[in-house]
Amino acid sequence: MTDPIRSGSDPRKAPAARRAVEVFTRAYGMPPRFVVRSPGRVNLIGEHTDYNDGLCLPVAVDLELCLAVAPWPPAPGSAEPGPAEPGSVSPAGRGLRDRRVEVVSEHRGEPAVVRLPPPVPPPPGPPRRAPGAQQGWAGYVEGAVVMTAAAAAAQTGDAAQTGDAAGRGGAADLCGWRGAVASDLPLGAGLSSSAALELAVARACAEVWELGWEPVEAARLAQRAENAWVGAPTGLLDQLACAAAAAGHALLIDFRDLTTSPVPMPDGVVVAIVDTGTRRELVTSAYGERRADCERAAAGLGVRSLRDLDDALPADAAGRLDPVALRRARHVVTENGRVEALADALRRGDLPAAGAVLLAGHESIRDDFDVSGPELDAAVDACRSAPGCHGARMTGGGFAGCVVALVDARHGERFTGAVLRDYRSRTGRPGAVHLCAPVAGTSLLRL
């Protein structure tokens, strides 16, 4: 088996794993015990359907985040940490009582630190930032630790593990660990860098604390970290795609019951991700407005969710909904059909049909859901005219970020050059193209 830490056969995954190990060793003066790899994801089709109990077809890609980890304190007989390099984090002098999770990053000056036992998760409710939650990337690390510790407490019945006042200093003994992150995922591009980080931290906690690892439950846990700790109103798509994907396959997800089914990607095709260089914040009123529009449409049509409408809107929908709710409902209902159509085309290896579905999806998300933008539209147009492209659409929550295309692998370099030239000529912006392969979900590499 190829060693992903030392091999250079993969120009993206291997460097991230190696960099994580190198950052860990510099920071802590000792080698890590294992590396968690957590992929980004791109959604081929099925946009804004997850929170409507609908269908989605994401694929995990080999743009990945890697987290090198060792329990703290080290196991008996392990090398003790030596002096840290200037500007790095030194663990010298930390003892058994200093139980914490600490994560350094190749791109961040300060570590993310979570004391153990961690704070108590907030009670169920609408997405909102938890009181006292850390800001920035540390908040995602903290949220994943908090939710995994709560899961551990639920397994053992030990309330002390969740950090209530009575439990602090009690019997709960969650071992601390140290980690180092390196990532090839562009931040804020809509490729689920936050979900990859949450799942990597949760997987590390599960390994150090000797918990089980089940992808769907891990995805739920990571979503709770994002909703109830960080305050981002996301659905479950990102976390489930990153956790449960199968190598060489897209993942058909039914959000009505969270069943998943791998869909083989045809040979000779690559998933091209075109980064427009534009960025947005997901925690905005626009995302919440779209959810509210969909809820209003479902109520107006007398169904619990838009998924209950199956293949088409009722004939009298226009008379029962305001124009905005009508367009939102039309997108969701037709998008569910496109997910099934794309999955069928991929199984048959019918790439022209698959490309046509992508293009139809972009028109719907642009015209009926109103979450595209000038740069995204320009990138889709650039892809459509590039060599080897079967079809393209914007991907992610919308307004900014990336476009996804299915491209003949033989034309990958020509496609890349043509798209970058055309996109710059249309927008004046530089772009970036990543030619990706479908990979497995979050996993652990022992060193």
pLDDT tens for 97-108 read 468 999 999 987
Indicate the pLDDT class of residue 157, thresholds 50, 70 and 90.
low
- How far apart (Å, rounded) are the C-alpha atoms in residues 24 and 31? 7
pLDDT at 417 over 50: yes
The pLDDT score that the predictor gives to residue 58 is 97
* Mean pLDDT score of the chain: 88
| pLDDT recorded at residue 158 | 57
CATH topology of domain 13-255+440-446: Ribosomal Protein S5; domain 2 (3.30.230)
pLDDT at 384: 97
Residue 74's pLDDT is what?
61
Mean pLDDT across the stretch 235-245?
93
Give the pairing type, strands 100-105 and 112-115: antiparallel
Contacts 24+ apart (CB under 8 A), 340-343: 340/55, 342/44, 342/45, 342/57, 343/57, 343/250, 343/252, 343/263
Residue 92: pLDDT band with limits 50, 70, 90: very low
- What share of the chain has pLDDT > 90, as a percent? 76
Say if residue 436's pLDDT is above 90: yes
Annotation marks residue 10 as catalytic: no
Structure tokens at 136: 């920035």
Tell me the Cα Rg of the chain.
22
Instruction: State how far the Cα of 223 lies from the Cα of 356, in Å rounded to an integer.
Output: 32
Q: Is the model more confident about 261 or about 107?
A: 261
Q: Does position 327 have pLDDT exceeding 50, yes or no? A: yes
**Per-residue pLDDT band at 36 (split at 50, 70, 90):** very high
What is the structure's pLDDT at 172?
A: 54
Q: CATH number of 265-436: 3.30.2090.10, 3.30.70.890, 3.40.50.300, 3.20.20.70?
A: 3.30.70.890
Percent share of the chain, pLDDT over 70: 86
Comparing 7-16, 155-164, 400-409, the range with the smallest average pLDDT is 7-16
Lowest mean pLDDT of 83-92, 245-254, 369-378, name the range: 83-92
For residue 75, the model assigns a pLDDT of 56
Q: E-strand spans in 82-152?
A: 100-105, 112-115
Q: With cut-offs at 50, 70 and 90, classify the pLDDT of residue 310.
A: confident
More confident residue, 279 or 407: 407
193-208 vs 137-156: helix crossing angle, rounded to 10: 40
Q: Any idea where the domains of the chain sit in the sequence?
A: 13-255+440-446, 265-436
50, 53, 62, 238: the active-site residue: 238
Give rounded-to-5 percent helix, strand, coil for the chain: 40, 20, 40
- Spatial CB neighbours of 168, under 8 Å, sequence gap ≥ 6: 117, 160
Is the per-residue pLDDT at 286 higher than 90?
A: no
Question: Is it the case that residue 225 has pLDDT exceeding 70?
Answer: yes
Summarised one tens digit per residue, pLDDT across range 39-58 is: 999 999 999 999 999 999 99
Indicate if the pLDDT at residue 307 is higher than 70. Answer: yes
- Can you give the pLDDT at residue 12? 43
- Would the pLDDT of 162 be above 80? no
